[in-house]
Amino acid sequence: MAKKGNQKLKILYLMKMFMEQTDEDHSISISDMIHELERYDIPAERKSIYADIETLKTFGLDINVRKSRSTEYHLASREFELPELKLLVDAVQCSKFFTHKKSHELIKKIESLTSKKHAQSLQRQVYVANRAKSINENIYYNVDKLHMAIAENRKVSFKYFDYTVDKEKSYRKDGERYYISPYSLSWDDENYYLIAYYEKHDNFVHYRVDRMSDIHILDEVREALKDETQFNVAEYSKKTFNMFNGVDEVVRLEFDNDLVNQVLDRFGADINIEKVSDSSFCIRTMVKVSSTFFSWVAQYGSKIRIVSPENTRDEFVAFLKDIVRQYE
């Protein structure tokens, strides 16, 4: 005999059916609902199901009726549309800072936001196995803790490490803790970075989140920016190539016209472009002069030229000569 107490769960199981088994391409009939409820020892009459469906619609579920040979019902819309979920899956599987394990866990949770049938189409997109992934299982929780510190205006302390050739952690500063004022998190070049402010030097530095361990949120309020100091994470990332530190320098760069897309991708659509000739243009921008900036310039060969300042041109030439000497 069916338990009467199960009747209290009837509407919840109906909602579960709509969430898991229906979408704009798949419907369910009243007979199917009754049969499914029987699996949970819940007897149901058609009249009560109709009433429950109306209650679910009042609650906010967008339940539509589809009539053909029989009357069937389906969930017409959800919080996330299928194309949006596909984008989320793509972002997770392409994110190098997630481990394989965490990538699979997140994708399974994303799948639960749609019907089981549509979840199968998300599975066909999953190619996590052979992607380069982080080996730090704690990064997911590091990001959450750092977001919390920023929201609460607190300093943090942590240990910072590099990997050895044996893939073992080698802590910097002999394992001493870093104490910093976090201001923003930035996703750049497939890695997550924490950007922090140092009042003593009135400048910003950054750390790879996957190289941080033992993060503690401190009671101490983070250092406030000086009155004249402004921080814009987009501008900071734009001038910091692959998040490598270097000396701030206003440089003038000349490009062949066919590199305009790359320039807009790198420096943004608001960069001022100055025509030099029918085949080239120039920009002036602030960058952090470093080996990664020189590498970015070098990848385009003769299509890009550092016009000024002269000392940066000389540094770039020395950078190239050092590379050439390795092959002589």
Q: Are residues 57 and 98 in the same domain?
A: no
- Asked, for residue 320, whether it belongs to a domain, the answer is yes
Per-residue pLDDT tens digits for 43-89:
999 999 999 999 999 999 999 998 877 889 999 999 888 888 887 88
Question: Which amino acid belongs to residue 266?
Answer: R
Domain boundary among 56, 75, 94: 75
Domain boundary among 170, 203, 229: 229
Per-residue pLDDT tens digits for 236-248:
666 555 545 677 8
Of 199, 212, 211, nearest to 156 by C-alpha is: 212
**How high is the pLDDT of residue 325?**
92
* Alpha carbon distance 146, 193 (integer Å): 10
pLDDT band at 260 (very low <50, low <70, confident <90, very high): confident
Q: Provide the domain limits for residue 280.
A: 241-325
Q: Are residues 219 and 245 in the same domain?
A: no
- Asked, for residue 145, whether it belongs to a domain, the answer is no
**How high is the pLDDT of residue 236?**
65
Alpha helix ranges (H) inside 5-128? 10-21, 30-38, 46-59, 82-94, 100-111, 116-123
Is residue 177 within 8 Å of residue 158, measured between CB atoms?
yes
**How high is the pLDDT of residue 287?**
85
Confidence check: pLDDT of 126 > 70: no
Question: Average pLDDT for residues 128-147, to the nearest whole number?
Answer: 68
Q: DSSP assignment, residue 241?
A: G
* Alpha carbon distance 56, 11 (integer Å): 8
* Alpha carbon distance 309, 252 (integer Å): 7
Question: Which amino acid belongs to residue 271?
Answer: I
